């Protein structure tokens, strides 16, 4: 069976904090190694795109200034994004992108940035400039995939009222200082504060995202249908980090 995925990277020119570009590089390489056609398009402010025509939409992280600059354009796309989600386009959101799918975000200067309001969660700002910073490991269940996800978090935003968290925090902070859980996953979107970037450190999560993208046009496809790849280097790095923080695989 010939497979392909079509990806849209939104606001690639301003929402690429902490090397989030690496997520797209990993997806492309892992697809190419399996002879899966990987077609990547970008979408800047004011550029016309039908997001429902893509298998995967990616929105990375950015500082408050960047988030404020793109909000008018993002809100204009709300119904098209909703259409994409309804038609099984998978959405991958990192940090700022994750925040903007909720109700609102309170910036460091106290200004309120309105979100797309697809979900009930909202993001306040850390008091007196406090931030959640450091390595983070979470225990997550993504459909049939049970895995420990490793990353790096650096966010002042405190995301609250998250009803479908991505995973339980084993080391680090998560959605907020005392949340105990990190990110959001409901089958339609995967939102997380994990930078680093996320996918180079977590090849199984990369394969999960590839699978979700493929399923838009091939709903019976499963992650077990992907050709196995040699993840020795990545797994050795993961083992070293898990050992450092005394967490069992």
Per-residue pLDDT of the chain (249 residues; tens, 9 = 90+): 799 999 999 999 999 877 888 999 999 999 999 999 999 999 999 999 999 999 999 999 888 888 889 999 999 999 999 999 999 999 999 999 999 999 999 988 888 999 999 999 999 998 877 899 999 999 999 999 999 999 999 999 999 999 999 999 999 999 999 899 999 999 999 999 998 789 999 999 999 999 999 999 999 999 999 999 999 999 999 999 999 999 987
Please tell me the distance from the alpha carbon of residue 16 to that of residue 24, in angstroms, as a whole number.
11
Question: Exposure pattern of 101-130 as b/e (b: 16+ CB <10 Å)?
Answer: bbbebbbeeeeebebbebbebbbebbeeee
The whole-number pLDDT of residue 64 equals 83
The whole-number pLDDT of residue 1 equals 73
Catalytic residue positions, numbered: 95, 195
CA atoms within 13 A on the CB side of 148: 16
Q: Apex CA 16: angle with CA 62 and CA 173, to 5°? A: 60
CA atoms 21, 192, 86, 210: torsion sign = positive
The whole-number pLDDT of residue 110 equals 87
The whole-number pLDDT of residue 66 equals 86
The whole-number pLDDT of residue 78 equals 98
Task: Consult the annotation and say whether 131 binds a ligand.
Answer: yes
Please tell me the distance from the alpha carbon of residue 51 to that of residue 65, in angstroms, as a whole number.
24
Helix (H) or strand (E) holding 30: helix 21-32
Domain regions of the chain by residue span: 4-244
Inter-helix orientation angle 21-32/203-214, to 10°: 70
Q: Which two tokens stand for residue 145?
A: 């995939």
The whole-number pLDDT of residue 109 equals 86
CA atoms 141, 206, 189, 212: torsion sign = negative
DSSP 195: B
What architecture is the 4-244 domain classified under in CATH?
A: 3-Layer(aba) Sandwich (3.40)
């Amino acid at each position: 069976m010939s497979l392909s995925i079509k990806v849209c990277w939104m606001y690639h020119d301003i929402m690429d904090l902490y090397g989030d570009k690496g997520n797209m590089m990993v997806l492309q390489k892992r697809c190419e190694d399996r002879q899966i056609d990987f077609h990547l398009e970008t979408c800047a402010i004011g550029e016309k795109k039908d997001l429902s025509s893509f298998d995967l939409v990616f929105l990375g992280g950015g500082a408050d200034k960047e988030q404020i600059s793109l909000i008018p354009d993002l809100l204009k796309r709300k119904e098209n994004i909703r259409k994409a989600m309804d038609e099984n386009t998978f959405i991958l959101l990192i940090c700022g992108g994750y925040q903007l799918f909720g109700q609102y975000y309170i910036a460091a200067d106290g200004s309120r940035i309105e979100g797309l309001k697809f979900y009930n969660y909202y993001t306040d700002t850390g008091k007196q400039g406090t931030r959640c910073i450091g390595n983070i490991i979470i225990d997550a269940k993504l459909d049939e995939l049970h895995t420990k996800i490793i990353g790096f978090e650096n966010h002042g935003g405190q995301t609250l009222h998250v009803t479908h968290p991505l995973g339980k925090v084993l080391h680090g902070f998560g959605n907020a200082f005392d949340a105990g859980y990190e990110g959001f996953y409901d089958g339609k979107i995967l939102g997380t504060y994990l930078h680093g970037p996320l996918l180079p450190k977590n090849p199984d999560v990369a394969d999960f995202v590839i699978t979700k993208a493929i399923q838009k046009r091939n709903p019976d496809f499963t992650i077990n249908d992907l050709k196995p790849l040699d993840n020795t280097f990545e797994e050795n790095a993961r083992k070293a980090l898990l050992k450092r923080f005394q967490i069992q695989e």
